[in-house]
Structure 1
């Protein structure tokens, strides 16, 4: 992982933990460069990531200010790391419903830009917050990119495993959000009724070299999850 990615990840953790809430702003670029023992250009790149992801905004000549957003209540769509990074670890739990190796059919091969028959990890799991089901997820990971995916990894942060253990550099993600009616199985898992409304988030995650690492879909409990996205001027 690039140095500025590591620094932005650490700063996000500190922001979410409330380290800078008292002053409402981050230390200066100079102070951060000394703290992380790196160049100001690297710090600037890390701050640009935080700005793009909606955590901070910059005021010329004044400093880097925290965005007044409660990250514990909304899923920030600007984050690749996503849902798990915004929930307190002591209140968020994951239950694995299925984890197996399968072969890519024509549809999956097309979606993942791989060969038909290539080995894929298929993962289906459900997330709980405060012991209440909030999200049903299913994902496909190419074994060529992710050689091993076990239950102990799937029950924690797969993003951390990819970036910290496998040293993969995540580049970007595409997300499509739509409304739909709940199928019977998902409704039962979420404690809702069949044909209740739901938000469905479809996602592709790419490495920095453009290679697809993950194809996923999440069905969200419409009463327990809200979505957040930030936008900035193109000027």
Structure 2
């Protein structure tokens, strides 16, 4: 498998919504945990897609230049109890395929 990095995901999750959230849950069964342990459902999401230039972290990890256009997908997800579940941003280097990614997690207090 190709070991080159093509995508970085930034994920923000309010800790009061999912108080026992761990890195293990985020990397394996985040949405399943919400459904099974909290009995909550995702009922909506707002998504924005745009092109942007990479920041320094993205230049380093995606091995691109500061002027390489990146596809950025921003999404805010809501639960059936009206609370914001998360906000994520995918920054994608425009190439033929996607194989590996890094997740940067920011818990919101």
Q: Quote the residue 2:86 is aligned against.
A: 214
More helix by share: 1
Runs of 4+ more than 4 Å apart: none
Question: Does 2:46 match 1:165?
Answer: no
Aligned equivalents of 2:27 and 2:75: distance in 1?
A: 19
Structure 1-normalised TM-score?
0.38
Bigger CA radius of gyration: 1
Q: Between the two structures, name the one with larger relative contact order (CA 8 Å, sep ≥ 6).
A: 2
More strand by share: 2
CA RMSD for the aligned pairs?
A: 1.9
Q: Deviations over 1:101-120 (max 9, x none)?
A: xxxxxxxxxxxxxxxxxxxx
Do the aligned partners of residues 172 and 134 (structure 1) sit closer, same or farther apart at CA in structure 2, a change above 3 Å counting?
A: same
Find the partner of 1:181 among 31, 39, 53. Answer: 53
Structure 2-normalised TM-score?
0.76
CA contact (8 A) 1:184 1:193 kept: no
**Which runs of no fewer than 5 residues in structure 2 stay unpaired?**
99-109
1:145 aligns to what SS in structure 2?
A: coil
Aligned equivalents of 1:134 and 1:157: distance in 2?
A: 22
Aligned equivalents of 1:190 and 1:164: distance in 2?
A: 35
**Which runs of no fewer than 5 residues in structure 1 stay unpaired?**
1-90, 92-129, 226-235
Aligned equivalents of 2:37 and 2:62: distance in 1?
A: 32
Q: Quote the residue 1:199 is aligned against.
A: 71
